[in-house]
Structure 1
Amino acid sequence: MHCWKAYHVNRKHLFFRRFFISFLVSLFVFIAGYLTLHAVSAQTFDDDYFLVFLCSLILLYPVHKLCHILPIVTYYKYMKWEFDRHFYILPVIHLQFGCPIPKAQFGTALVFPFIILNAIFITGVAIYPQFGHYFTILLSYHNGLSVFDLLLFKSLLLSPKHALVEENEDGYEILVENDII
C-alpha cells in the first residue's frame, strides 16, 4: 500500500479558519432559506417550544457525530474518541480510527449526516411551517457543521475506486495498493 493523497485538515484549515468558513456557510444558508421560506409561506411564525429548539440546537452536534458512526459501526472497536474545548465552552469531538476503512464506507459516513439531518429539517419545514424559522436555523447550523465533511468527500470522489482511507493526527491519507508488474 502507498499513499495516493494526504489530506491534512489541521495544516490546511486551522480551527479558526474552519470556524469562520462554517459560520459564513451557515449565515448564507440561513439567509437563503429564511428568505425562501418567507416568500413561499404566508404562515406567521410561532415562538412556542423555544426550549425544544434550544435543546435541539445543543444536541445537533453530538447527533451529527453519531450519524457519522452509523455507516461504519463495524469498525467501532478501532475507534478512538477525543474531546476538546475551544473558546472555553465549545466542545469538539474528534473521532479517529486505528485501521484503514474502504473508500465507499468512509464516503458514506461523511455524507450520511448531511443527507439524513437535512432531510429531517426540510421535512419539518414542510410539515410545521409555523416553526419554519427554527428548522431554518437548525438547517443552517448543520450545513455549517457539514462543510468540511463535504470537502473531504469531494476529494474522495476523485480517488481510485478501491482505495482505503486511513486517519492520522494531521488528517486523512488515501491509500491504494501497489501495482505488481
Structure 2
Amino acid sequence: MNCWKTVNVSREFGLNRIYMISFLLGLLSFVFLYLPLSMIHQSSNQQEYGLLPLLLGLLLLPALHKLMHIVPLILANKRLKIKWKIKMGLLPIFSYRSKSRLSKKTSVLSLLAPTMLITLPGLVTSFVYPDYFAYILLFSCVNIGMSFTDYLYAYHVIKAPRRCIIENANDEFDILIS
C-alpha cells in the first residue's frame, strides 16, 4: 500500500482559522435560517425554559457530535478504541480511533453522520415544532459550525481514488492506495 495523501486540516489551515470559520459558519447559518423560520412561525408563542437548560444542552452537544461519528463505525462492525473522560466534573469528552482501515464510503459516512443525524433532523424539527424552533435551530446551527472540519476532511476523502483505504492516525488521515 502506498500513501496517496496525508490529510491534516489543522496543519493546513491552522487552528485559529478553523475556529474562526466554524464560528462564522454557525453564526451565519443561524442568521439565515432563523429569519425564514421566524416568518413561518410568527403567530406561535415561544416557550422559554431559561439559560441553564440551554447552556447544559450546548455543553453536551460536542459529546453527542463525537458519538454520532462513532455510530456508523459501530453499525459497520469496525473495531474501535474509544476513550472517554469527564472534564470539569460534568462534561463527557470522547475520542475514538479505528483499529482497522476504513473504506472510502465508511469514512465519508462517519464524517457526515453528525450532519445527517443531528443537523438535518434538527432543522426538520425546528420547522415542525414552532414553540421550540429557536432552541432547536440554535443547537442545529452550532452543530453545523462544529461540523466544518468534518466537511473539510470529507472533501479530501471524496476526492480520493475510488478504491482507496483510509487509515486514521492521531489528528490526520492517511489515504492509501494499492
| TM-score relative to the length of structure 1 | 0.83
After superposition, give the CA deviation of every residue in 1:2-29 in whole Å (9 maximum; x if it has no partner): 1111112231133222211110101110
RMSD: 2.5
Corresponding residue pairs, total: 173
* Whole-Å separation in 2 of the counterparts to 1:119 and 1:169: 29
**Percent identity of paired positions between Structure 1 and Structure 2:** 26
Deviation at 1:118, TM superposition (A): 1.4
Distance 1:126 1:64 in 2: 21
For residues 134 and 149 of structure 1, the distance between their equivalents in structure 2, rounded to whole angstroms, comes to 23
CA distance in 2, matches of 1:82, 1:9: 23
- In terms of mean alpha carbon deviation, does 47-56 or 24-33 score higher? 47-56
Structure 1 runs not aligned, ≥5 long: none
Q: Is the 8 Å Cα contact of residues 111 and 153 (structure 1) preserved in structure 2?
A: yes
Aligned residue number for residue 96 of structure 1: 97
Residue equivalent to 2:40: 40
Cα 1:17/1:81, change in 2 over 3 Å: farther
Q: Deviations over 1:86-139 (max 9, x none)?
A: xxxx98654333432111111111111101111221222122112211112111
Note the C-alpha offset of 1:80.
5.0
Which residue is equivalent to 1:136?
A: 137
User: Match of 2:81, as an amino acid?
Assistant: M
Letter in 2 for 1:20: M
**Residues 3, 21 of structure 1: CA spacing in aligned structure 2 closer, same or farther, 3 A cutoff?**
same
* Paired residues for 1:64-79 under 5 Å: 64-73=65-74, 74-76=77-79, 78-79=80-81
- Which amino acid in structure 2 is aligned with residue 19 of structure 1? Y
Give 1:110's aligned residue.
111
Match of residue 55 from structure 1 = 56
Equivalent AA in structure 1 for residue 78 of structure 2: Y
Alpha-carbon distance between aligned partners in 1 of 2:128 and 2:149, rounded to the nearest angstrom: 30
State which of 81, 84, 90 in structure 1 corresponds to 2:83. Answer: 81
Secondary structure of the structure 2 residue equivalent to 1:131: helix
Contact 1:45 1:133 in 2 (8 A): no
Find the aligned partners of 1:80 and 1:91 in 2 and give their Cα distance: 12
